[in-house]
Structure 1
Amino acid sequence: MTKRAEGKTLAILAADGFEEVELTSPKEAIENAGGKTVIVSLEHGEIEANQHRKHGMKIAVDKTLDEVKADDFDAILIPGGLFSPDTLRTNQKALDFVSAFFEQKKPVFSICHGPQVLISANLVNGRKVTGFKAIQQDLKNAGGIVSDEPVVVDEGLVTSRNPDDLGAFNDKIVEEICEGKHDGQRESVAA
């Protein structure tokens, strides 16, 4: 297998209640391509996954938001789940961390309910996006140009709908992290 993502590091921003497969599957895809992943959360210890609303595995936090900056990474992933995005979207450090990836023109990946974090950081206005069916109207209300497709790519911003789309989403994650910075990556257009 080719190690085309060798030398690339992906920040995975999550909190308790992330959808297990939306973190583990992209993590495995990057690592299989030779890249490194770092689990970033609000506190040290472990965060617990959900598996379709049931408790899932626990995963160790590598770094807290107080210990990282976007400069340390090549891209960021925000997995979905019902609770993790809700927790992150109300945390200013999380919003600032995600915004810094846009400012540095680095790839940003988000799936399912994860784009709610992008909404709260005012990063979807004028951007092509998708997300879980239940948040597509929220994305539209925030100024996003929403498509109900497995994967939507807009200049380094890659969004996806749900676990059924992980194959295509993971392929795009590896491709985009290998491409690196995107000059067209930008914060959202002012409303």
Structure 2
Amino acid sequence: MADTADLAACRILIMATDGFEQSELEVPLERLQDAGAEVELASLEAGEITGWDEDDWGDEIEVDLLIGEVNVDNYDALVLPGGQINPDLLRVEESALSVIRDFAAAGKPVAAICHAPWLLIEAGLAKGKRMTSYKSILTDVANAGAEVVDEAVVVDGNFITSRCPDDLEAFCDAIIAALAESKAPA
């Protein structure tokens, strides 16, 4: 795990809406903040969004900015929590897909867990990538042209994917390592 100084100058964007998997937003948020990064949450509407916690609605979290206000130049990485509801709602929003494409085009880490690879598929970014996801969307990932693997975390270029909340430690470690590497002196 990277030490705190590694991410002191990093700004991370988490993009989510109602129905995000509680742990898949909260754990990366806490781990990245603990590593010294500044983390902001973008969503479709101002106010608060509500998570999904196992089998019922979970906690609310305050939104920092609207997805349409995101300037990719202001951030070092994008984190996309899963849950079934959250990515399904976001993948029909062109503003969300545009943000994802902009992060990818800039070569910045884009980390998607659980059902969030749906967003990479919809943004047209999965083809030719080595990826993993939640088991119920593995066929979607394969049909989008990705090489599907069953591993806790898969890193392919600037894309980081994981399967489920059980993989959060490896997922967060991979995000922190990618950020530390991108900030290392050349």
Confirm or deny a common fold (TM above 0.5): yes
Residue 152 of structure 1 corresponds to 154
Task: Give the one of 131, 134, 137 matched to 1:135.
Answer: 137
More helix by share: 2
1:88 and 1:94 in contact (8 A); partners too: yes
**Equivalents in 2 of 1:74, 1:120: separation in Å?**
22
Task: Give the one of 4, 8, 11 matched to 2:10.
Answer: 8
Counterpart residue identity of residue 152, structure 2:
P
Unaligned runs of 5+ residues in structure 2 are none
Root mean square deviation, CA, Å:
1.0
**Pair 1:58 & 2:56 matched:** no
**Equivalents in 2 of 1:53, 1:79: separation in Å?**
17
**Equivalents in 1 of 2:158, 2:107: separation in Å?**
8
**Equivalents in 1 of 2:43, 2:182: separation in Å?**
24
Q: Where has structure 1 moved over 6 Å in runs of 4 or more?
A: none
**Equivalents in 1 of 2:167, 2:13: separation in Å?**
20
TM superposition shift of 1:2: 3.0
Write out per-residue CA displacement over residues 42-93 of structure 1, whole angstroms, 9 at most, x where no aligned residue: 1100000001231100000000012212111100000001111011100000
1:3 and 1:32 in contact (8 A); partners too: no
**Pair 1:114 & 2:116 matched:** yes
**Equivalents in 1 of 2:52, 2:35: separation in Å?**
26
Tell me the number of residue pairs that the alignment of Structure 1 and Structure 2 aligns. 181
**Equivalents in 1 of 2:181, 2:45: separation in Å?**
31
Counterpart residue identity of residue 12, structure 2:
L
What is the TM-score when the length of structure 1 is the normalising length? 0.92
Residue 123 of structure 1 corresponds to 125
Residue 104 of structure 1 corresponds to 106
After TM superposition, list the pairs within 5 Å mapping 1:151-190 onto structure 2.
151-180=153-182
Counterpart residue identity of residue 56, structure 2:
K
1:9 and 1:36 in contact (8 A); partners too: yes
**Equivalents in 1 of 2:70, 2:9: separation in Å?**
18
Secondary structure class of the residue paired with 1:44: coil
**Equivalents in 2 of 1:108, 1:66: separation in Å?**
18
Bigger drift between 12-21 and 169-178 goes to 169-178
Residue 25 of structure 1 corresponds to 27
Unaligned runs of 5+ residues in structure 1 are 182-191
1:131 and 1:162 in contact (8 A); partners too: yes
% same residue = 43
Secondary structure class of the residue paired with 1:152: strand
